[in-house]
């Protein structure tokens, strides 16, 4: 070992590995060795979760024909309560209320609750919509809270107090419930063990931009592969907060809606399944919603999901591991609830890249060693994700070639958002519960959604510090890439470095310029369209 370290130091010409006497410095040699061990440990963690993706794809194909089937039908349609939680959703409030009232179901068996915690013009919009449909003979009520105690979970729990339905169907404000949603799902509840039925999300603005197309592929992977693999193989899956129907007694038996995490849906899902309730996922039943069309909204959504996942992990995972559940369920629950920690490992790998590139160039003179080192990163960190998302697109669209061109950007976006989500995970594991920050909705598909986007962006007073850090990381990675290109022997690792660099630069620059352009364009749009917005206010 001593001889090996001395040889490596002499070959690499590393100044920090040689003491004044010319002998090997144990401290410096130990540092290099320790650093490489730490790097391989972090890389190994990423690889483990990458291999888990392979397992999900395997489970999907193994159990894809294990399709839930209706074994009986209700003689008389049961009473259903539809809950529409919203907070300052003026751009989409009327749309979701109108679509809900067009659901094909007997009026006398349907109750609709508009659970509004809004503090803006949404209050008036929602009231007017409720009054209109009440006049049409619908059992629809407007429930407004003066405070946001418990946020969305608090609103759902408050509505449940007066819910008259045996079953509860939930839609977020940006969704458009299809008319056949109840007819397609209600009879699955003839099985008394079924506690929740989840529909698949579809996307109103899938093809709007590169960002929305990439988000759609990310969510398709989650629903088509993850949900189907877990549910059809008998493992625990989660309710996604919307486009799903619960048996009311299941919610109550599991302890009701709790607001000590930001992912109340994931929390309740695990508590209910631990109580023995069965969940069903129906990929053929879909409900469309809008994807965040700008980077700031996307990051807010990702932050909330990552933090809530970490909070739920901290809350429930110890109980799950101590339970008498089968080992396969425990194992999948472990990977599911701890998957958010991958963002931490990705950020650590990013920070380590510069010294790793230097060490690879100077300490590993043999080409085969260097290629194995780089190839392991590329194959495990990227190919598992590629197979995962290609499989989802092939299942949905019967082809995979169209999705291939989006995969490099998909991986770059996942890397670029890592710093944002790593902050969220740390906050969820060690921080305190804070405000539920809603994902902004713009009414994509309506005539003025672009104006809503510009106005909401322009009202943000200043850019937060995070994009500057993300930009600094992107420039740091550019320096790593230049270092790698400076040595012709480093070749296979260059695409990996490019993915990291592009991801961080894209996320930071679109956040920065998106805000700046919004302020300018909203002012110009206000002048052209005579919007009731003062130019001075936009420049604040």
Q: Catalytic residue numbers?
A: 117, 265
C-alpha dist (Å) from residue 362 to 10, 14, 28, 359, 515:
10, 8, 15, 5, 43
Decide: helix, strand or coil at residue 113.
Answer: strand
Tell which residue, 54, 116, 58, has the closest CA to residue 83: 116
Q: What is the rounded distance in angstroms from the CA atom of residue 105 to the CA atom of residue 265?
A: 26
Judge whether 261 and 308 are in contact, CB under 8 Å.
yes
Judge whether 353 and 497 are in contact, CB under 8 Å.
yes
Element of type H or E holding 514 = helix 493-529
The Cα angle at residue 191 between residues 186 and 194, in degrees rounded to 5: 75
Give me the residue label for tokens 């999900």. 56
Tell which residue, 84, 102, 103, has the closest CA to residue 181: 103
Q: Are strands 80-86 and 140-144 parallel, antiparallel or unpaired?
A: unpaired
Decide: helix, strand or coil at residue 10.
Answer: helix
Q: What is the rounded distance in angstroms from the CA atom of residue 157 to the CA atom of residue 146?
A: 15
Side-chain-facing half-sphere of 508: CA atoms under 13 Å: 21
All residues at 6 or more sequence positions from 175 whose CB lies less than 8 Å from its CB, including other chains: 96, 99, 242, 243, 287, 288, 289
Query: What proportions of the chain, in percent to the nearest 5, are helix, strand and coil?
Result: 60, 10, 30
Judge whether 318 and 438 are in contact, CB under 8 Å.
no
Q: What is the rounded distance in angstroms from the CA atom of residue 237 to the CA atom of residue 279?
A: 7
All residues at 6 or more sequence positions from 95 whose CB lies less than 8 Å from its CB, including other chains: 176, 443, 446
């Amino acid at each position: 070992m001593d001889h090996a370290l001395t040889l490596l130091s002499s070959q690499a010409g590393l100044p920090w590995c040689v003491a004044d006497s010319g002998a090997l410095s144990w401290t410096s040699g130990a540092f290099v060795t320790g650093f490489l061990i730490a790097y391989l440990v972090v890389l190994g963690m990423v690889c483990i979760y990458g291999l888990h993706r392979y397992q999900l794809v395997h489970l999907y194909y193994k159990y894809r024909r294990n399709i839930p089937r209706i074994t009986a039908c209700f003689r008389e349609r049961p009473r259903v309560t539809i809950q529409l939680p919203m907070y300052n959703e003026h751009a989409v409030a009327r749309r979701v209320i109108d679509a809900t009232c067009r659901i094909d179901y007997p009026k006398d068996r349907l109750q609709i609750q508009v659970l509004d915690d809004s503090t803006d013009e949404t209050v008036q919009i929602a009231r007017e919509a409720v009054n209109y449909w009440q006049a049409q003979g619908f059992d629809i009520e407007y429930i407004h809270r003066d405070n946001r105690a418990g946020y969305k979970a608090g609103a759902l729990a408050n509505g449940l107090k007066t819910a008259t339905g045996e079953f509860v169907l939930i839609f977020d404000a940006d969704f458009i419930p299809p008319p056949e949603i109840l007819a397609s799902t209600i009879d699955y509840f003839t099985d008394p063990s079924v506690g929740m039925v989840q529909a698949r999300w579809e996307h109103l603005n899938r093809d709007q931009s590169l960002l929305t197309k990439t988000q759609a592929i990310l969510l398709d992977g989650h629903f088509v592969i993850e949900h189907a693999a877990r549910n059809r193989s008998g493992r625990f899956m989660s309710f996604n907060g919307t486009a799903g129907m619960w048996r009311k007694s299941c919610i109550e038996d599991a302890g009701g809606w709790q607001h000590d995490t930001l992912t109340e849906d994931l929390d309740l899902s695990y508590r209910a399944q631990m109580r023995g309730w069965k969940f069903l996922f129906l990929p053929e039943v879909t409900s469309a919603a809008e994807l965040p069309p700008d980077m700031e909204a996307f990051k807010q959504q990702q932050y909330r999901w990552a933090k809530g996942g970490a909070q739920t992990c901290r809350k429930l995972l110890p109980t799950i591991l101590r339970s008498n559940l089968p080992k396969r369920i425990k194992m999948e629950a472990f990977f599911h609830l701890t998957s958010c920690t991958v963002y931490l490992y990705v950020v650590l790998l990013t920070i380590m890249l510069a010294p790793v590139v230097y060490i690879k160039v100077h300490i590993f003179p043999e080409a085969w060693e260097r290629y194995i080192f780089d190839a392991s990163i590329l194959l495990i960190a990227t190919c598992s994700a590629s197979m995962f998302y290609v499989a989802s697109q092939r299942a949905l669209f019967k082809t995979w070639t169209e999705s291939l061109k989006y995969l490099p950007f998909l991986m770059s976006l996942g890397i670029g958002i890592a710093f944002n989500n790593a902050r969220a995970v740390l906050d969820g594991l060690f921080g305190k519960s804070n405000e539920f920050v809603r994902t902004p909705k713009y009414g994509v598909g309506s005539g003025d959604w672009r104006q809503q986007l510009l106005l909401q962006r322009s009202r943000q007073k200043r850019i937060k510090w995070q994009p500057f850090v993300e930009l600094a990381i992107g420039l740091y990675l550019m320096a790593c890439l230049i270092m790698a290109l400076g040595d012709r022997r480093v070749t296979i690792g260059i695409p990996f470095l490019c993915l990291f660099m592009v991801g961080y630069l894209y996320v930071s620059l679109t956040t920065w310029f998106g805000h700046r352009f919004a302020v300018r364009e909203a002012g110009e749009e206000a002048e052209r369209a005579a919007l009731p917005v003062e130019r001075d206010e936009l420049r604040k």
